[in-house]
């Protein structure tokens, strides 16, 4: 009979054998399971490192997802290309625009260099501040262009909405990200209406300077409340007779950072312009409208002939229907303005852009080239004549070209 030590050895030996048998059985079982799994299609695919085969429904869903990813990638690539192209062309991305009613309290005084009568009374000049919403609602001082209309118009010359595609101020905000102020001058639209013999190119240059100062300081109202936005740079833009006003302001006060005149030339008027001037002067002396106003272009047909070339008839008809009579002293102070401009425009050192239409019936070529001569000595002077363009530069079919020229020039000068 084995002793205690022998029995212990025998028990250990048996335990090892049992353990070995258990291990062998487990390995065999696992191997058999693996063989069974590998013998199935899914198992063989897993063993080969591939995904299990999909059903027809799964394959269709996967294909749909792949197509969606491809389309999204194509859209991103197209957007990137458009953005790069716009950047290369100097065009800002489209922005959400905003139009805010504004009002400026001014005195109709004349401290300018152009001698003519004014009543010294206080009036409101009203209009709209138009630009990208993020720029109008920010606290950082911005650059702004103040747009001044000529005879027969109102602020609608710069933000006409009667026919889509002619809202100049909104288009400049969208295409160039620029901020504009468009106004009814005194005597027009919603602004104050002095006696037409008591407001003139000299006093208009004066109150434009007051508006420029208020834009810089924020001393105006926006949506009926004190303004929140101030402007560190201001450009003056005048169309037609508005050129008299912006030049009078620039040369008298030297308070602007850029000057643009469009459809205007002090010494480049046509025979049509002189004839219209004579008729309006006669009407002002012999048969003025109430409060001493008269139309520059006695009949609707006269107005159309002077202002429109290559224009949509719907636009020409609609604008002619809302044309406005003008203060009699606008024509009454033209001679003084021409003399002062001819003698003093060379004192304007701010950058200047002159834009005229090749088919302008009131200021035809070489009106722009002649006007350019008055700014001799100006170090930053540009003159452009637009082909196929009449007097109403924002309302003809070439309006996009005009917007591009002005917007690009302003952008180049920090606006």
pLDDT value for 367: 98
| pLDDT at residue 52 greater than cutoff 50 | yes
Q: What is the 3-state secondary structure (H, E, C) of the chain?
A: CCCHHHHHHHHHHHHHHHHHHHHHHHHHHHHHHHHHHHHCHHHHHHHCCCCCCCCHHHHHHHHHHHHHHHHHHHHHHHHHHHHHHHHHHCCCCCCCEEEEEEEEEEECCCCCCCCCCCCCCEEEEEEEEEEEHHHHCCCCCEEEEEEECCCCCCHHHCCCCCCCCCCHHHHHHHHHCCCEEEECCCCCCCCCCCCCCCCCHHHHHHHHHHHHHHHHHCCCEECCEECCCCEEEEEEEEECCHHHHHHHHHHHHCCCCEEEEECCCCCCCCHHHHHHHHHHHHHHHHCCECCCEECCCCCHHHHHHHHCCCCCHHHHHHHHHCCCCEEHHHHHCHHHHHHHHHHHHHHCCCCEEEEEECCCCCCCCCHHHHHHHCCCCCCCEEEEEECCCCCCCCCCCCHHHHHHHHHHHHHHCCC
- Name residue 354's beta-bridge partners: 261, 383
Of 237, 239, 184, 193, which is closest to residue 212 (Cα–Cα)?
Answer: 237
| Mean pLDDT computed over 27-54 | 43
- CB-CB contact of 185 with 148 (8 Å): yes
pLDDT value for 67: 72
For all residues of the chain together, what is the average pLDDT? 87
Structure confidence by residue, pLDDT tens digits, 140-192: 778 999 999 999 999 999 999 999 999 999 999 999 999 999 999 999 999 99
| pLDDT at residue 37 greater than cutoff 80 | no
pLDDT value for 84: 65
Question: How does residue 80 score in pLDDT terms, banded at 50, 70 and 90?
Answer: low
Window from 40-44, 125-129, 253-257, 353-357 with minimum mean pLDDT = 40-44
Window from 61-65, 93-97, 266-270 with minimum mean pLDDT = 93-97
| pLDDT at residue 76 greater than cutoff 80 | no
pLDDT value for 94: 53
Q: Where are the domains of the chain?
A: 1-34, 64-93, 94-412
332: which 2 tokens? 């009454």
Question: How does residue 61 score in pLDDT terms, banded at 50, 70 and 90?
Answer: confident
pLDDT higher for 120 or 35?
120
Q: CA 293, CA 278: separation in Å to the nearest integer?
A: 15
- pTM to 2 decimal places: 0.78
Q: CA 392, CA 389: separation in Å to the nearest integer?
A: 8
Structure confidence by residue, pLDDT tens digits, 315-342: 999 999 999 999 999 999 999 999 999 9
Topology (CATH level 3) of domain 94-412: Rossmann fold (3.40.50)
Window from 43-57, 243-257, 267-281, 325-339 with minimum mean pLDDT = 43-57
| Mean pLDDT computed over 349-358 | 98
237: which 2 tokens? 């833009």
Q: CA 219, CA 205: separation in Å to the nearest integer?
A: 19
User: How many other β-carbons are positioned within 10 Å of the β-carbon of residue 347?
Assistant: 14
| Mean pLDDT computed over 339-350 | 98
pLDDT value for 175: 96
Residue 217 burial (10 A CB sphere; 0-12, 13-18, 19+):
exposed
pLDDT value for 90: 54
| pLDDT at residue 368 greater than cutoff 90 | yes
Residues 6+ apart with CB under 8 A from 16: none
pLDDT value for 138: 77
| pLDDT at residue 57 greater than cutoff 90 | no
pLDDT value for 100: 97
Question: How does residue 51 score in pLDDT terms, banded at 50, 70 and 90?
Answer: low
């Amino acid at each position: 009979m084995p002793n205690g030590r022998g029995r212990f050895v025998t028990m250990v030996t048996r335990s090892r054998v049992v353990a070995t048998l258990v291990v062998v059985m487990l390995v065999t079982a696992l191997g058999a399971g693996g063989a069974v799994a590998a013998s199935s299609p899914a198992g063989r695919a897993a063993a080969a490192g591939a995904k299990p085969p999909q059903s027809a429904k799964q394959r269709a869903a996967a294909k749909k997802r792949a197509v969606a990813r491809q389309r999204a990638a194509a859209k991103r690539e197209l957007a990137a290309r458009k953005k790069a192209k716009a950047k290369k062309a100097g065009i800002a991305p489209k922005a959400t625009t905003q139009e805010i009613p504004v009002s400026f309290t001014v005195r109709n005084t004349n401290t300018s260099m152009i001698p003519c009568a004014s009543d010294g009374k206080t009036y409101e000049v009203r209009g709209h501040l138009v630009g990208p919403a993020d720029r109008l609602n920010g606290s950082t001082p911005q650059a702004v262009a103040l747009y001044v209309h000529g005879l027969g118009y109102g602020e609608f010359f710069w933000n006409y909405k009667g026919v889509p595609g002619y809202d100049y101020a909104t288009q400049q905000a969208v295409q160039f990200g620029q901020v504009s102020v468009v106004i009814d001058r005194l005597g027009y639209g919603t602004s104050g209406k002095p006696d037409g013999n008591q407001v003139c190119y000299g006093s208009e240059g004066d109150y434009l300077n007051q508006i420029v100062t208020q834009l810089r300081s924020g001393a105006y109202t926006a949506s009926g409340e004190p303004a929140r936005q101030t402007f560190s740079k201001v450009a003056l833009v005048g169309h037609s007779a508005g050129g008299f006003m912006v030049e009078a302001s620039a040369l008298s006060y030297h308070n602007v950072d850029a000057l643009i005149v469009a459809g205007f030339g002090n010494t480049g008027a046509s025979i049509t312009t002189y004839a219209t001037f004579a008729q309006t002067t006669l009407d002002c002396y012999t048969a003025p409208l109430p409060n001493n106003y008269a139309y520059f272009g006695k009949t609707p047909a006269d107005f159309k002939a002077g202002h429109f070339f290559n224009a949509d008839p719907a636009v020409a008809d609609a604008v002619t229907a809302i044309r406005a009579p003008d203060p009699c002293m606008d024509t009454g102070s033209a001679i003084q303005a021409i003399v002062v401009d001819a003698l003093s425009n060379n004192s304007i050192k701010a950058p200047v852009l002159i834009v005229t239409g090749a088919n302008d019936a009131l200021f035809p070529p070489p009106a722009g080239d002649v006007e350019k001569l008055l700014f001799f000595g100006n170090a930053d002077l540009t003159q452009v004549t637009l082909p196929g363009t009449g007097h109403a530069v924002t309302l003809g079919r070439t309006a996009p070209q005009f917007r591009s020229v002005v917007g690009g020039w302003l952008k180049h000068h920090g606006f």
